[in-house]
Amino acid sequence: MFTAKPVNKAPSVGVIDNQRGVAILVAIGVVAVLLSAGLALNQRIRSSVSDAIRVRDDLVLSEMATSGVHAAMVMLINDRKTNNTDTLQEDWANPEKVAEMMGLMPFDDGELDVRIEDERGKIQVNALVKFPEGRQFVASQRSLWERLLDRLFSLFEDPPDSEPNMIINSLKDWIDDGDNEAITGLTGAESDYYEGLEPPYSCKNGPFDHLGEVALVQGILPELYYGVGGAAGLSAMLTVYGATASGESQFAFDGKINISTADVNVLAALLPSEDDDLAQALADYRIAMADETFVNTITSANWYKQVPGAGGLTIDADLITVSSDLFRIVATAKRNRRTHILNVVVQRQKAQGTGQWECKTLNWQAE
């Protein structure tokens, strides 16, 4: 008996086309996955390279700015070795001379700008009261503050919600200690006032450690602190530094201002109110030049009497000096569109043991 064998039929054309389509789709999918993985890897590599470049630049910028600070310290030390006065006529106060000093450092790339300021040219906010307790005003300092604030308040077109006496009393209350939170006068402020604010905080009852604390005191409006109408505010005229040893474990602030470096606004506060318009004349006298040479000597505390129109002036001797020991160094380094700023306060002093001049760091802040 004959049995027929089954016949294998050839795949139809439609089936073949479907199989080819699936293969193409699979291939496209694989390519897409590989492409996505490649792009992700490339992005990750680029990000890692960018991060590495930023880290490198930040390190270089930090080293540049640090070198600038140390170079400025060298300038201040060399200056003290040659004289014991500090004026705007000296190399450390001359931007061109400072730039020449910075130019001696061989940086292959980037820019470095360094500025040196005399902190003694500012008003010592902590000197307003007698330490260590801080319960009594220093009369000359209170008068200084009255003149300073009267001048600042005169810049307002409309009377602000504050007044000089309120600010002065509140500054004292912020500093004084051991008075059982007693309020100075009728306008002072202790913790009860500050704890009622939003957000609440306490009155410090101690000296100002950071300038920003001044902005927390009752009556210190933002316009007073930062300035108004293009005029400088308290933040540009005050310093919290200047403490000196006064007996065992005690300190004081002498409050002396270097009139040979002080800003014109501080000079105006030093002058009697009726003569504060002479402040600009004093400021100009300090830097007057002829044939690229300073023409006026400003190394004695009464040099201001030589200014035309100021012969009859008398500035309280307890308020002024012509020598400094506190300086602010601001070093700005730039490279590849990145910036690193160091804001450093130093005290120039003799090192214990060696007797050599040095710059002791009081505050080192990176911005």
- Residues 169, 134 within the same domain: yes
For residue 265, tell me if it sits in a domain. Answer: no
Is 143 in the same domain as 232? yes
DSSP label of 338: E
Helix (H) or strand (E) holding 329: strand 326-335
- Is residue 317, in this structure, part of any structural domain at all? no
Q: Say if residue 106 is in the same domain as residue 199.
A: no
Residue 156 sits in which domain range?
123-236
DSSP annotation string for 81-149? HH-S---TTSGGG-HHHHHHHHHTS--SS-EEEEEEEEGGGSEEGGGGB-TTT--SB-HHHHHHHHHHH
Over residues 289-316, the pLDDT tens digits come to 999 999 999 999 999 999 999 999 999 9
Distance CA 168, CA 143 (A): 10
What is the residue type of 153?
F
| Within a domain: 314 | no
* Residues 67 and 106 both lie in one domain: yes
Whether residues 100 and 180 share a domain: the answer is no
> Do 194 and 130 reside in the same domain of the chain?
yes
Alpha-carbon gap, residue 271 to 274, rounded angstroms:
8
Domain count, the chain: 2
> Is the alpha carbon torsion for 142, 238, 209, 241 positive or negative?
negative
23 is a domain residue: no
pLDDT per position as a tens digit, 64-120: 999 999 999 999 999 999 999 999 999 999 999 999 999 998 887 889 999 999 999
My answer on whether 115 and 132 are in the same domain is no
Query: Which residues of the chain are under the pLDDT cut of 70?
Result: 1-22, 25, 29, 34, 37-43, 45-54, 178-180, 247-249
In a domain, 254, yes or no: no
In a domain, 260, yes or no: no
Exposure string of 50-69, with b = 16+ CB inside 10 Å and e = fewer, is eeeeeeebeebbeebbbbbb
- Residue where a domain stops, chosen among 236, 258, 286: 236
Question: CATH number of the domain that 183 lies in?
Answer: 1.10.40.60
Same domain, 107 and 196: no
